[in-house]
A and B are shown apart, each in its own frame.
Chain A
Amino acid sequence: MATLAADGGQKAVVKNPLMQQHPASFVYAAGLGGQGRHVEGFMKLSRRAFVGGAMAAPLLGGPGFGQAKGSVLRVIPHADLKNIDPIWTTAYISRNHGYMVYDTLFAMDGNLNPQPQMVDKWETSADGKTWTFVLRDGLSFHDGKPVTAADCAASLIRWGKRDAMGQTMFTAVESVSGRDAKTLEIKLTRPYGLLVDTIAKISSNVPFIMPKEIAETDAFKQIENAIGSGPFIFRKEQWVPGSKVVYEKFKDYVPRKEATSGAAGAKIAKVDRVEWLYIPDPTTCMNALMSGEVDYYEQVPGDLAPLLSKAPGVKIDVLDPIGSQGMMRFNHLAAPTNNPLVRRAIMRAISQKDTLAASVGNPQYYRECKSIYPCGSPLETNQGTELAFPTSLDEAKKLLKESGYKGEKTVILQPSDIPISSAFALVVAKACRDIGMNVDVQAMDWSSVTSRRAKKEPVDQGGWNMFPTWWIGGDLLNPLSNASLVADPSKAWPGWPDDAKLRDLRDAFSAASGLDAQKKAAAEVQQRAIEIGTAANLGIFFVPVGYRDNVKGMIPSPVQFFWNMEKTS
């Protein structure tokens, strides 16, 4: 039986220069949902300065008005938890909810390598077509029932119907079933070297394990109950959508013995209760953290980070070692971006430095990265990047002329309610105009963008040419998880590239076994993706977290986890 060697108790080490730096004064545009509200410099107000004399005592005590006793971690999450099915939706907040409540067969450690989680041992047959996984002892769901292989099988099947990487894996799957209560068997029609990597994936959709009767829910219909086997129990009766989510420690959870590392290792709930308190206004979030009414703020907008870093009792840090990547998606169907030379011209005109400076602000919180796979991740490569970098308006103009561009209108969708993407749109629009393109930037909210980008018509019939977005690095780690690299229009993300060579290269990656072969295959995919211009890479940015100084145990990871976190006083 094969096992991956335990990490020997060492903490994950992922190089991120930002995590070593002391946060200095900076300005940084908010990520998704941020409102970029600017507040002038804050100084703690003295009583004397305000009223010129002591007034009556406060109505109630100091920070933490009316807060429950016991170890409770109060968190401001990055978004409101609107639904509890992390397979039905790809929303990151639902994924984070999933990590609270569910467990996974495998998980990515701090070095983004897959490690067993619910699995104790596994083996592959000599022909590579039969995989057998034995579950750890003592795994149980929150309702007391033991976790069985049948639960795992049903969960994987449901996940495989919705997740892009899962769908690719399942093209090689003949059957998934429980050989016995603790043994899961996956039979393949052909060897699939990425099987463990696929079911260890760290971001949406994560193959969370649910009870069989819940996992048998239609994959396009929401589950009703969130019963899992993870370190926390979801208290549905206390859930107020738009306001509060409550999780309580699952006392019967059996953690692994290895040290915590990323999504892997021991998942020990060190607080009795975690409350997600969704506060829509960033200034209120900041104030709540400063006053101690909350303990943790998951995504601190850049313009508020300098104030928080100076506030007594508050710390700012970056936990995500690989950051998030901005992207400008091209429409391969509508002119003029249906011309690959036009796409290459635009890519050559875009300056990552300008784009990130405009949307992020402080250079401490962004960096240029030519690789499609995030810099610092295992498959990072510069192969093919000479087609898009360095920025050169002269080269871009040359390419545009060569394309035969005649001044056709180029429509950029600007999601005005997402500050970072909104800034991306404006900077790219300028870059296009600088090389002589006729650009029409159309502002709308993100919901409108999602329906507008589904249109395949020409721009004069309501179509579009480009829209900006961003992904966490965890979603872009390889050619299969990266949605922008799907080159089959019937399956692709809006933009619909159609390229047989890219499809073949992605398939070749899925068949590659071992890191060296995967790196080579991934580099080929990247080169082709840049050649045909699937999307323009706008660079990497990092979103800091804020927390009270008595909170410890944060896990460096592209995804936010709340096990291992505790309050020391």
Chain B
Amino acid sequence: MLSFVLKRVLSTIPVMGIVALTVFLLLRLSPGDPAAVIAGDYATAEQIARIRTQLGLDQPILIQFVRWLGDLLRGDLGVSIFSNLPVSTLIAQRIEPTSMLALTTIVFSVIVAVPLGVLAAWKAHTWVDRAVMVFAVIGFSVPVFVMGYFLIYGFALGLRWFPVQGYRSPFTDPGLFLSHITLPTLALSAIYIALIARITRASVLEVLEEDYIRTARAKGQAETKVLLVHALGNAAVPIVTVIGLGVALLIGGVVVTESVFNIPGLGRLVVDAIQKRDYPIIQGLILFFSLLYIALNLIIDIAYTLLDPRIRY
């Protein structure tokens, strides 16, 4: 196991290198010039050129890349072209809201979806199964922002149970944190509940056909134990995979929820940066997300060994 983990950690280096090169080149070769955006409409070509020089954007791409790579190896993600703040500071400001939203969403989704999926598999081809699947389809189909607006309309503006927008840290005020995170979590969870429930149902259904399930039932074991211990335990591997991927997607892809509920997270940071062509932020964030995905994949692979003793590396 240790050698497996070491090999995966070492393989991160070339993967991150390719990601770094790809994102760097894509940005430099795509249209848009941050110097022109900074300079504004009154600027002459000479002024824009001067800003490009100040920002180091007039250097050959190879020089820019080597310079950036050197900073990266020293742990320096660079400085935002627009705000002049370190990229690491901006990420640190935004990572908590995104992490908290991802955590509450995935925990809530798992708590709701796994039992739903097991229930649907247990009562396969009955109205219970169909009801769960209809819910899953709705969860997939309704866009997050529509779900969000409906929740705001009903629970925030109507019943006044929750605020319309914003984020509060759990470390400063847990009560306010819960009130602010509830609606975004509900809005975002719908799709993950749908996804996890469907995978759970499919995976458990497959396992329920196995001989050892029939044996367990024949031996008189309670149906709850058959489902939750024997079936779910053996069906866990694909479910854990989807949950892990869900976490990764949540970290990087919740910009719509963050916009609707005004949560200052990483999703908004990267979209704002792309619109302005703030290269250091975009590069730094893409690398951060890549590292995160690699780490999550490693954790999932290790989790397999805990769930299924037959899996050994």
Contact = CB atoms under 8 A, between A and B. Distances in A.
Contacts of B268: 242, 280
Interface string B165-188: 110100001011011101000000
Contacts of A51: 159
A82 B149 contact: no
A293 B42 contact: no
A515 interface: no
A59 interface: yes
A258 B179 CA distance: 46
Contacts of A47: 158-159
B156 A287 contact: yes
Given A291-B164, A451-B31, A454-B36, A284 B45 contact: no
A174 B227 CA distance: 89
B108 to A, nearest CB: 16
Max chain A C-beta neighbours (<10 A), residue from B42, B80, B269: B42
Interface in B221-268: 259-262, 264, 268
Interface stretch (A23-31, A62-70, A345-353, A370-378): A62-70
A470 B283 CA distance: 32
Given A50-B159, A90-B40, A287-B152, A244 B264 contact: yes
Contacts of A55: 159
Contacts of B217: none
B171 to A, nearest CB: 14
A229 B240 CA distance: 58
**Interface size bucket, B side?**
35 or more
A80 B80 CA distance: 14
Contact of B50 (A220, A287, A493): A220
Max chain A C-beta neighbours (<10 A), residue from B84, B85, B179: B84
Contacts of B262: 277, 279-281, 284, 288
Contact of A241 (B32, B90, B168, B179): B90
Interface in B261-302: 261-262, 264, 268-269, 272, 275-277
Contacts of B182: 59
A454 B42 contact: no
Nearest to B85: A241
Main secondary structure of the interface of B (DSSP, over half): helix
A279 B165 contact: yes
Contacts of A493: 41-43
B33 A450 contact: yes
A45 B158 contact: yes
Interface in A225-259: 240-244
Contact of B275 (A63, A218, A445): A445
A447 B275 contact: yes
A59 to B, nearest CB: 5
B82 A204 contact: no
A445 B84 CA distance: 23
Contacts of B90: 241
B82 A83 contact: yes
Nearest to A83: B82
Contacts of A417: 275
B168 A451 contact: no
Main secondary structure of the interface of A (DSSP, over half): loop
A62 B264 CA distance: 23
A125 interface: no
A22 interface: no
A437 interface: no
Interface string A426-457: 00000000000000000011111011101000
A204 B84 CA distance: 20
Max chain A C-beta neighbours (<10 A), residue from B36, B41, B276: B41
A133 interface: no
B276 A447 contact: yes
Given A82-B276, A89-B40, A62 B84 contact: no
B209 to A, nearest CB: 43
B82 A66 contact: no
A91 interface: yes
A62 B160 contact: yes
Max chain B C-beta neighbours (<10 A), residue from A58, A82, A162: A82
A469 interface: yes
A220 B159 CA distance: 52
A297 to B, nearest CB: 13
A493 B36 CA distance: 11
B215 interface: no
A444 B31 contact: yes
A492 B154 CA distance: 53
Max chain A C-beta neighbours (<10 A), residue from B38, B47, B94, B153: B38
B163 interface: yes
A82 B82 contact: yes
B192 interface: no
B272 A288 contact: no
B154 A63 contact: no
B212 interface: no
Interface string B89-131: 0100110000000000000000000000000000000000000
A83 B262 CA distance: 20
A328 interface: no
A378 to B, nearest CB: 22
B48 interface: yes
A221 interface: yes
Nearest to A471: B41
B48 A454 contact: yes
A83 B90 CA distance: 13
A284 B82 contact: no
Given A450-B32, A450-B33, A50 B158 contact: yes
A60 interface: yes
Nearest to B52: A220
B216 interface: no
A569 interface: no
Contacts of A291: 156-157, 160, 163-164
Contacts of A127: none
Contacts of B37: 446-447, 450
B161 interface: yes
B162 interface: yes
A483 interface: yes
Contact of B165 (A88, A293, A471): A293
B272 A80 contact: yes
A96 to B, nearest CB: 15
A164 interface: yes
A448 B80 contact: no
A60 B179 contact: yes
Contacts of A62: 160
A491 interface: yes
A281 B258 CA distance: 9
B54 interface: yes
Contacts of A21: none
B141 interface: no
A41 to B, nearest CB: 12
A3 to B, nearest CB: 32
A16 interface: no
A293 B163 contact: yes
**Top 10 closest pairs, chain A to chain B, by CB:** A90-B40, A45-B158, A243-B264, A447-B32, A451-B33, A65-B163, A450-B36, A82-B82, A58-B161, A66-B176
20 contacts: A45-B157, A46-B158, A47-B158, A50-B154, A50-B158, A59-B162, A59-B178, A59-B179, A62-B160, A220-B47, A241-B80, A241-B90, A242-B264, A242-B272, A243-B264, A280-B259, A280-B268, A287-B152, A471-B41, A493-B42
Interface of A: 39, 44-47, 50-51, 55, 58-60, 62-63, 65-66, 80, 82-84, 88-91, 162-164, 204, 218, 220-222, 224, 240-244, 277, 279-281, 283-284, 287-288, 290-291, 293, 417, 444-448, 450-452, 454, 469, 471, 483, 490-493
